[in-house]
Amino acid sequence: MSPTSDPRPVFVVLDGVDGCGKSTQAERLCDALRREGREPLHLREPGSTGAGERLRAILLDPEVELGAGAETLMFAAARRQLLDELVRPALIAGRDVVCERGNPATYAYQAVAGELDPDAVLALLDGWCRSPAPDLELVLSIDVDEAAARRGGEHDRMEQKGLEFQRRVAKGLADYVQRRDRARSLDAAGSTDEVAQRVLQEVRRARG
């Protein structure tokens, strides 16, 4: 598929457990879209806006204590600002948007792993963080232990919660995929090139 045959912009969210490779795959996807003559906007959550980056610093600071409820509201605020400030204008201008993390992460990390009411969290996200809605929410599925081995180095506040927490996150992500029509699970095992090709195929399907 080329931009000539289908100029419609696509909004893609890449998500998964920590260490799943979403940042690498977001970069690879943007590279592939550029080769097709498109101008993708690469974003990250929380972040990419002034407000989002400040909230990110608080949310990921190991010295800051936050409950899952407060985290949910802060992630939602950062996302709402991102959608208004960057995502909607880009789509209106005909640009594809590739975002690292989104509603799947909030559902998995805060609702399921954080033991909040999943339906209440979904209601919040649907009310405040669903317009414009992604064309595709792609969850990169990988063994939690393998993902942990990939990370190495220093861990932020979320990553410090341990493997059992990440296993609950993985369960939450799988549950989210079952509950959402535009959410898909993608096998993230294999080489970077192999996974990148799978991601691109899913994006092309989502574009229609």
CB-based burial label for 207 (10 Å; 0-12, 13-18, 19+): middle
22 is in an annotated binding site: yes
Contact by Cβ (8 Å): 202, 136: yes
Kindly tell me the sign of the dihedral angle through the C-alpha atoms of 195, 139, 29, 8: positive
**At 179, phi and psi to the nearest 5?**
-95, -10
Contact by Cβ (8 Å): 97, 207: no
169 is in an annotated binding site: no
187 is in an annotated binding site: no
30 is in an annotated binding site: no
21 is in an annotated binding site: yes
52 is in an annotated binding site: no
19 is in an annotated binding site: yes
Q: Which of 104, 100, 132 is nearest to 118 (CA)?
A: 104
162 is in an annotated binding site: no
How many angstroms separate the CA atoms of 166 and 57, rounded?
21
Instruction: Give the type of residue at 144.
Output: V
How many angstroms separate the CA atoms of 184 and 188, rounded?
12
Q: Annotated binding residues, as ranges?
A: 16-23
Q: Annotated binding residues for ATP, as ranges?
A: 16-23
